[in-house]
Amino acid sequence: MTDRILIVDDDADQCSLLEATLARLGYAADATTSAHDALRRASQVRYSAILTDLEMGEMSGLALCEQLLSAAPEVPIVVVTGNSSMETAISAIRAGAYDYITKPVDAKLLGLSVARATHRSRLLTELHRLRENAGGRPEEAGSLLGDSPSMRRVQELITRVAASDASVLIQGETGTGKELVARAIHKASTRANGPFVAINCASVPANLLESELFGHAKGAFTDAKNQRQGLFLEAQGGTLFLDEIGEMPLEMQSKLLRALQERTVRPVGSNTEVPFDARIFSATHRDLDADVRERRFRQDLFYRINVVCIDVPPLRERVGDTLKLASHFLGKFCKQAERSPVSLSPQVAERLLAYEWPGNVRELENCMERVSALARFEQAMPEDLPESVRASRTDGLVVSAGQSEEIVKIDELERRYILRVLKIVDGNKSRAAQLLGLDRRTLYRKLDQYRQAEAGHASQVTELAPNAARPEAAAPAQPSYATA
């Protein structure tokens, strides 16, 4: 939806000039020469920003700022004046103005100022919505929060694959919530009343992993004083989740493959095959395709566990979910600490959106736990955030990999910058092209090239077993240009 701007200036020619400039920048604008009329309009129309002159005969711009903030505190006000003194700027900011520009108005500076103001307006609106929704029904612990296109694809695939009994491989970076995906599928499946048993294959020593999974007979080894049932049998009638399966030793992979093929397990030290009835989910942060090529992971086991593949997107590819997740976690930790609720301030929200979140949702959750412990006011402030998040800014392009610098080609740098601008203007291609200094045809051509490159990269297609339903494989997470 096009942002609507209110222009207030007692000079009708100046109103017309600003209105025409904003129209070229892709905004809708209303203009008035009366401060009182501006107050009336602001009470009736939801504006994204207000531009007001400082020196007006009917009412000063400073007085208008104060009254507008009382009527519509969430609407940023940009003061436009011919007086460029520092005292005037300070007075405008103290009166509540969000920004300050001088006459004659430079179109580029006006565009940047209004873009920042409308971005802040949308941010405040979203925070207000989140606060209102905080009193609704509590989110279930195992639910997957998010309305971004990439998360909607994951949620749809969860729903479609739940009715099947096919094996599922869940891929994603550390901290993206792969186990939450597994639990969500289990809860939606016909095995929901059965147990959900999870094991991290990387945390169990190789010599004990076989006993953990398959169990052991009494006397099988020195400390085996009693017979023990393995996790495959503990998950009987339910789901077994093999987390970090890419870390499993090759010798154990062959034993796991046999168990999955025969649907039986042989406890350590026993000669008896015991049948099991458990659905198998696996997860990894590794590139198993590459591991198969380099013979670090068995190809036949990979095909066995990869009947349906779900790719969980990193948090940096689902920026629209960041504030929703942050508010959820902050509310949860405040409730656990039995303290009054804390909401996100606009300054904190801006930094959360600017940060890259290398640790993904887990890092965001830890960040909100810190905020709940340190916040002294009803709103979280930037000083409550970790230094890495506090230092982030929305007006810069961070080119990094983890904590080290990343060297990228010029074409890749251009791609990231274009997508960054598109995100800042909420996908408005006309405004993005203007800010980038490109014509719309050039911008469309570049976005189409990025789509084709992404489609060519996502070449793997996964299918369900022939005797099961056939939900489509998880589509690769699309960057922001897909919805621009």
Token reading at 294: 């380099």
**Cβ pair 74, 126 in contact under 8 A:** no
- Residue 181 sits in a domain of what CATH number? 3.40.50.300
- Within this chain, do residues 168 and 283 fall inside the same structural domain, yes or no? yes
| pLDDT bracket for residue 476 (50, 70, 90) | very low
Domain total in the chain: 3
- Within this chain, do residues 186 and 286 fall inside the same structural domain, yes or no? yes
* pLDDT of amino acid 462: 37
Within a domain: 320: no
Asked if residue 104 has a cis previous peptide bond (ω within 30° of 0), the answer is: yes
Range of the domain at 452: 397-484
* pLDDT of amino acid 397: 38
The more confident residue out of 431 and 280 is 280
Residue 65, pLDDT > 90, answer: no
Q: In this structure, what DSSP letter does residue 53 have? A: E
| pLDDT bracket for residue 245 (50, 70, 90) | very high
Of 313, 340, 363, the domain-final residue: 313
* pLDDT of amino acid 132: 57
Residue 334, pLDDT > 80, answer: yes
For the segment 24-34, what is each residue's pLDDT rounded down to a tens digit?
888 999 999 98
- Within this chain, do residues 233 and 108 fall inside the same structural domain, yes or no? no
Residues in contact with 418: Cβ distance below 8 Å, sequence separation at least 6, in sequence order: 432, 436, 443, 446, 447, 481
Q: Is the dihedral of CA 181, 187, 189, 194 positive or negative?
A: positive
Within a domain: 199: yes
Residues in contact with 194: Cβ distance below 8 Å, sequence separation at least 6, in sequence order: 235, 236, 237, 238, 239
For the segment 397-432, what is each residue's pLDDT rounded down to a tens digit?
334 333 333 444 556 667 877 888 788 777 888 877
Residue 244, pLDDT > 70, answer: yes
Within a domain: 389: no
* pLDDT of amino acid 456: 58
- Within this chain, do residues 199 and 243 fall inside the same structural domain, yes or no? yes
For the segment 170-218, what is each residue's pLDDT rounded down to a tens digit?
999 999 999 999 999 999 898 999 999 999 999 998 888 999 999 888 7
* Least confident stretch, 138-152, 188-202, 470-484: 470-484
Q: How far is CA 362 from CA 127, 147, 366, 423, in A?
A: 21, 18, 6, 23
* pLDDT of amino acid 25: 87
- Residue 429 sits in a domain of what CATH number? 1.10.10.60
| pLDDT bracket for residue 44 (50, 70, 90) | confident
